[in-house]
């Protein structure tokens, strides 16, 4: 089963300011600082957070207290279009019924000065539908049925 979940959020800051964090390794650090009970460690396994000709991918491994961890790769980081595609490689939801899991983040200038629209999309393929839907239901806060 394939699916996609998206959300948009208007932010009171320019897209270029927001992208300084979202388009770099600052975002995982902000997430870790905001949710210290969920994320205990960030390791940059390769690269510096941006895709350069000499650095084809960025690998991150985030350890969550308990058995859950994941490793993801930044496949695309486009600072001009403010577009980032991250693909989960190991662990996390891939051990909970998902065959693939990709996250897309974008920042678009808003109509008002110093505002932007942040979009987040998760594209996924479930290998184990029951387990995967249970994970999605918990993340969204309501029941999803196949």
Q: Over the stretch 78-116, which tens digit does the pLDDT of each residue have?
A: 889 999 999 998 888 888 888 999 999 999 999 999 999
**Residue of 16, 27, 20 whose CA lies nearest to 103:** 27
- How is the chain split into domains, by residue range? 2-140
CB 109 within 8 A of CB 2: no
59 in Cβ contact with 45 (< 8 Å): yes
Q: Which stretches of the chain score pLDDT less than 50?
A: 53-56, 67, 142
Q: Is the pTM of this model over 0.75?
A: yes
- pLDDT confidence of residue 56: 44
Is the CATH number 3.30.70.3040 carried by domain 2-140? no
């Amino acid at each position: 089963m394939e699916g996609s979940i998206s959300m948009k959020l208007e932010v009171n800051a320019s897209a270029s300011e927001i992208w300084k964090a979202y388009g770099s390794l600052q975002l995982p650090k902000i997430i870790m600082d905001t949710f210290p009970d969920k994320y205990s460690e960030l390791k940059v396994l390769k690269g510096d957070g941006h895709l350069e000709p000499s650095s084809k991918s960025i690998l991150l491994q985030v350890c969550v207290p308990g058995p859950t961890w994941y490793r993801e790769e930044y496949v695309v980081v486009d600072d001009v279009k403010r577009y980032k595609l991250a693909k989960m490689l190991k662990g996390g939801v891939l051990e909970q019924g998902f065959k693939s899991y990709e996250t897309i983040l974008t920042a678009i200038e808003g109509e008002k000065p110093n505002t932007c629209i942040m979009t987040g999309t998760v594209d996924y393929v479930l290998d184990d539908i029951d387990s995967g839907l249970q994970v999605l239901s918990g993340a969204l806060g309501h029941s999803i049925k196949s």
